[in-house]
Each structure stands twice: as structure tokens, then as C-alpha cells.
A = this chain, B = another copy of it.
Amino acid sequence: MADTRTQWAFSKLRHMIMENELQHGQPYLEQTLATRLGISRTPLREAALRLQEEGFVDIRPRLGIHIRPISCADMSEIYDILTELEPYAARRLAEMPAPAAALDALTAHVAAMEAALSADDLRGWAEADRAFHQALIEHAGNRRAERIVSTLFDQVHRARILTLNRRSGLDRSNDDHRRLIALIRAGDGAGAADVHRTHRETARREMLVLLSEMGVDGV
């Protein structure tokens, strides 16, 4: 994929962590991981360092690399930040006003969400949902915000997948998104921000309830 081993290892490990192929509660030693990936310690260390910066692992000297579990407190922190930054993106996009390309992308993603839901393809729905949120922040034209939101989204990925088949109100989520698109198209920044903030607050609440119901703390 990427041309340097460091980049490749970074992507690979990131993917493995997100897909639970590397789990928390267990130390991974540099040499072990390096051998497992077929590279030497140098690029592995660099990849691990980047993962630490992005919040995916803790490097504890001599105790190995630890996957960071996502607790309810973490979810709460992350959703709080998303609740601030995504409505900001919605407002900005509405006030640009949003280019047709952006509206088209958002619309396509909602359509995909609806199709996935009809087909009972939860994983597909989650991916389309993610794509929707990604497109929203991407087109708002704030690179740093985009990077922050994207990283946070990836951090909650495991928890989202875990709670996916217990979630209710996925169709309401789709409706929220349709309304958001309409407001963005209408150039109503305040309205768009408002709708999306409510959407986020609801998602946050539901997610925390589900996690506590499942008795999970530390995904």
C-alpha cells in the first residue's frame, strides 16, 4: 500500500487495532510485532510512535505496546468533541454556500445508509454513516478539524461495531441526515448546526446507555 515500511506498518497496525485483531490487556513487544509484520524494529517503532500520537496505543517502556481500551469516559470525551466540531462543519458548509459536489456526496451517502438499512446490512449502514460524517467535515474546508474528527471517529470504531446490532433508531438517524442536507442546501447555517448537534447528542446518549447496558467498560 504505502511505499515505506514505516507507513505500511502504521496503516496495518491501525487497521488491526480497529478490527480488534490486536486487543488490549496484553502487551505487544516491539520485536514480536516487528517479526510478525516481517520488518525490523526501526520502522515498527516509528509506526508505534505515530499510533501513540493518534491515541491508539500506549508505549510503556519495557512493558510493551498496549492497545488503548476505549472506556465510557473516553466515549464521552470523544462524543463531546464531535458534538462541537461537526455542527461547526455543518454551519460552515451551509454558509459557504455548499457546492453541489458536497451536497451530492452527502445525498449519496444517505442513500447508501437507507439502502443498507433496508437490506439489514448493519455493517454497511455503519460504513455509509461514517462516510456521511466524513464527507460533512471534509467539505467544510477546515483541514485540522477534519483530521481531528477523523481520528476520533476511528478511535470509537470498535465501540460502534460492538453496539451496532443493539442500536435502535437507525432510521431516525437517516432522517436527521436528510434534514441536515436540506438545511445545508437552504443555506441555513444555524439550523443545520442545531439539527446536527441534537443528532450528535442523541447518538452520544444512546451509545453510553448501550455500553452500560452491555456492562462493557473498556473496548
Residues in chain A within 8 A of chain B (CB atoms): 42, 45-46, 49-50, 53-55, 77-78, 80-81, 84-85, 88, 92, 142-145, 148, 152
Q: How far is the CA of A53 from the CA of B92 in the complex (A)?
A: 26
Say yes or no: B46 contacts A81, CB within 8 Å.
Answer: no
Q: Shortest 8 CB-CB distances between A and B: which pairs? A: A53-B53, A84-B84, A77-B142, A84-B88, A77-B144, A81-B145, A49-B49, A46-B49
| Cβ 8 A contact of A53, one of B50, B78, B84 | B50
Majority secondary structure, A binding face: helix
| Cβ 8 A contact of A144, one of B46, B78, B144 | B78
Known: A55-B144, A85-B85. 15 other contacts (CB 8 A): A42-B42, A46-B46, A49-B49, A49-B50, A77-B143, A77-B144, A80-B142, A80-B145, A81-B85, A81-B88, A81-B144, A81-B145, A81-B148, A84-B85, A148-B148
Nearest-CB distance from A5 to chain B (Å)? Answer: 13
Q: How far is the CA of A148 from the CA of B152 in the complex (A)?
A: 11
Q: How far is the CA of A94 from the CA of B88 in the complex (A)?
A: 22
Q: Identify the closest chain B residue to A155 (Cβ).
A: B144
Please, which residues of chain B bring their CB within 8 A of the CB of A148? 81, 148
Nearest-CB distance from A174 to chain B (Å)? Answer: 26
Please, which residues of chain B bring their CB within 8 A of the CB of A54? 53
Nearest-CB distance from A39 to chain B (Å)? Answer: 15
Please, which residues of chain B bring their CB within 8 A of the CB of A45? 46
Q: How far is the CA of A77 from the CA of B149 in the complex (A)?
A: 14
Nearest-CB distance from A153 to chain B (Å)? Answer: 13
Q: How far is the CA of A66 from the CA of B50 in the complex (A)?
A: 18
- Sample 7 A-B pairs with CB under 8 A, ordered by A number: A49-B49, A55-B144, A77-B145, A80-B92, A81-B85, A85-B85, A144-B152
Please, which residues of chain B bring their CB within 8 A of the CB of A81? 85, 88, 142, 144-145, 148
| Cβ 8 A contact of A88, one of B46, B49, B80 | B80
Please, which residues of chain B bring their CB within 8 A of the CB of A84? 84-85, 88
Nearest-CB distance from A23 to chain B (Å)? Answer: 22
